[in-house]
Amino acid sequence: MSDLRIQPALGILRPSESEARILGHVLRNRGATQPEIAKACELSQQSVSRLVNELVGAGALVLGERRSSGRRGQPSATIDIAPNYAYALGVALMTDAMSVLLMDFAGNVIAHEHFTMPVMSRRAVFARIEEARERFFALAPAARLRLVGAGIGILGPCLDGKSRFNPPRALDEFAMVPIDELFSEKLGIPCWVESDGNAAAVGESFLGAGRFYSNFVYIYVAAGLGGGIISNNRLLRGSHGNSGEIGRMLPWRNFQIPTLETLLHALRKSGVELDGISTMLASFDPEWPGVDEWITRSRDQFSLIASAIAALIDPEAIVFGGRLPRSLASKLLPAIELFDDARREMPRPLPRIIASQATFDACAIGAAMLPLEQMLYTTML
Share of the chain above pLDDT 90, in %: 77
pLDDT of residue 7: 54
> pLDDT tens-digit profile of 127-145?
999 999 999 999 999 999 9
- Residue 169 gets which letter from DSSP? G
The secondary element (H helix, E strand) that includes residue 211 is: none
pLDDT of residue 347: 76
> pLDDT tens-digit profile of 183-227?
999 999 999 999 999 999 999 999 999 999 999 999 999 988 999
> pLDDT tens-digit profile of 227-258?
999 999 999 999 999 998 888 888 877 888 99
* Nearest in space to 51 (alpha carbons), one of 7, 13, 18: 18
pLDDT of residue 380: 43
pLDDT of residue 73: 59
pLDDT of residue 331: 97
pLDDT of residue 201: 95
Task: Answer yes or no: are the C-beta atoms of 197 and 238 closer than 8 Å.
Answer: no
What is the arithmetic mean of pLDDT over 77-96?
94
Confidence of residue 4 (pLDDT cuts 50, 70, 90): very low
Structural domains of the chain, ranges and CATH numbers in brackets: 5-81 (1.10.10.10), 85-202+362-377 (3.30.420.40), 213-355 (3.30.420.40)
pLDDT of residue 19: 94
Say if residue 1's pLDDT is above 50.
Answer: no
Burial class (CB in 10 A: 0-12, 13-18, 19+), 345: exposed
Confidence of residue 340 (pLDDT cuts 50, 70, 90): confident
pLDDT of residue 35: 92
Residues 6+ apart with CB under 8 A from 101: 89, 90, 109, 110, 111, 112, 113, 360, 361, 364, 365, 368
pLDDT of residue 68: 63
The single-letter code of the amino acid at 87 is Y
81 beta partners: 61
pLDDT of residue 120: 95
* Nearest in space to 197 (alpha carbons), one of 249, 157, 150, 238: 157
Checking phi first, is residue 270 left (phi over 0); if not, alpha (psi -120 to 50) or beta?
alpha
pLDDT of residue 3: 42
Q: What's the CA gap between 70 and 66, in Å, rounded?
A: 12
Q: For residues 318 and 3, which has the higher predicted lDDT (pLDDT)?
A: 318
Task: Answer yes or no: are the C-beta atoms of 149 and 190 closer than 8 Å.
Answer: yes
> pLDDT tens-digit profile of 30-80?
889 999 999 999 999 999 999 999 999 999 999 988 876 556 657 788 999
What is the arithmetic mean of pLDDT over 145-169?
94
The single-letter code of the amino acid at 213 is Y
